[in-house]
Amino acid sequence: MTQIKRIAIFGSTGSIGTQALEVIAANTDKFSAEILTAQTNDELLVKQAIQFNPNCVVIGDETKYQKVKEALSHTHVKVFAGEQSLIEVAAMDCYDMMLAAIVGYAGLKPTLQAIENNKPIALANKETLVVAGDILMQKALAKRVPIIPVDSEHAAIFQCLVGEGRNKIEKIILTASGGPFFGKKPNFLVNVKKDHALQHPNWSMGAKITIDSATLMNKGLEMIEAKWLFNLQPEQIQVIIHQQSIIHSMVQFEDGSIKAQMGLPDMKLPIQYALAFPQRIPNQFPRYDFKKPNTLTFEEPDIRTFRNLFLATEALKKGGNMPCIMNAANEIAVYAFLRNRIGFLDITEMIEQTMNKISFIEKPSLEEYFESDGEARTFAASLIHLQF
């Protein structure tokens, strides 16, 4: 009898978290949901807790603690609240693997705590590596904790590298769908509203990542994530537009051979792969059909129009705290755009101004990363007079 793997889902009510629970529900002989956390969506968290009966849940918004506690009073589920509780629960020993799916910078501290506690990480939060990739990967290496990427592109590269441990990577090729505005120019983008930007052609994702995909910032964040995950130099990372999203990414080796990982765009596949690694387990997901006429196309990204990808490449090359600054400004800018406070093209403008304003630190400590993040957010928010 195989032992059931106990999963802690940090960010269980988001797009990745809900799909992970679908994978767990379809494989109850292999997985259980041991910890579930949400920031504000208390109603869905309660539903999930009643269905999956975890050891404990955390609601980040402390004002909703009593409501969650009362709703689960007839169960044995322990209820906690607040940012500090996320870190304390990550230190528990009641789970076997963390699925790090909290969106944005907020996922960093719990993930570091889980690594400290020798828990393998299925990483769906790219910002964690963008903000402090050097510190996180050093800690994972020192603790011999595996980091298995869930992002479809990094999961693809990870799969291409299985069995290739001694072979040198010449470069990796990250594929991008191009988002909903592929081929558009600034005179079109200046009038884009959030409802239009949230309509992704291929993937079903949360609001933040969908906007990042539309601005191509998502691909920039993935370049920085890839650098840390696969120990690469900036010049070894290439981005190409592949509108069909069938090839999820590729690895080119020093003999010129290229390995690609393919499949229909469905996040449940990389989630299942990460949770079950090193096994592959059967599923009923739709399959790609080569008999159907389909053309796979590849094009260079337009970084003059979609300058976020250019800014991310600059941050990748500069290193230090620059990716952290860029990420913080982007989170504030996307937040403002989703609330109709700024225009689509203003997102890039805010990020660039913040990158030029905040002091550069070549080798930051973890504390300096936190400070840079805070300074960048404050400055970016001041550009739009947001009141937090």
Provide the Cα torsion 137, 143, 146, 150; round to 10°: -50
pLDDT above 70 covers what percent of the chain? 97
pLDDT digits (tens, 9 = 90+) for 350-374: 999 999 999 999 999 999 999 999 9
Alpha-carbon radius of gyration of the chain: 20
- Per-residue pLDDT averaged across 287-305, rounded? 91
Rounded Cα distance, 5 and 334, in Å: 36
Confirm if 359 and 334 have CB atoms less than 8 A apart: no
Domains in the chain, please, with CATH?
Answer: 5-149 (3.40.50.720), 154-309 (no CATH), 319-388 (1.10.1740.10)
Name the E strands within 202-361.
237-241, 247-253, 258-262
Question: What local confidence, expressed as pLDDT, does residue 203 receive?
Answer: 60
Write down the pLDDT at residue 207: 85
pLDDT attached to residue 379: 96
Q: Convert the pLDDT of each residue in 51-66 to its tens digit.
A: 999 999 999 999 999 9
For residue 99, pLDDT beyond 70: yes
Q: Report whether pLDDT(302) > 90.
A: yes
Task: Over range 170-184, report the average pLDDT.
Answer: 94
DSSP 92: -
- The model's confidence at residue 388, banded by pLDDT at 50, 70 and 90, is very low
pLDDT value at position 382?
95
Is the pLDDT reported for residue 387 higher than 70?
A: no
Whole-number pLDDT of residue 204 = 65
pLDDT (average), residues 299-317:
96
Place of tokens 């960093």: 108
Cis geometry, peptide bond prior to residue 120 (ω within 30 degrees of 0)? no
Q: What is the pLDDT of residue 201?
A: 66
CA distances from 347 to 53, 100, 331 (A): 41, 26, 9
Phi and psi (nearest 5°) for 312? -65, -40
Residues β-bridged to residue 123? 100, 149
Query: For residue 326, is pLDDT > 90?
Result: yes
pLDDT recorded at residue 293: 73
Alpha carbons within 13 A on the beta-carbon side of 130: 31
Predicted confidence band of residue 196 (pLDDT cuts 50, 70, 90):
confident
The upper half-sphere exposure of residue 5, i.e. CA atoms within 13 Å in the direction of its Cβ, equals 24
- Packing angle of the helix pair 322-338, 307-318 (nearest 10 deg): 150
User: Is residue 1 over pLDDT 60?
Assistant: no
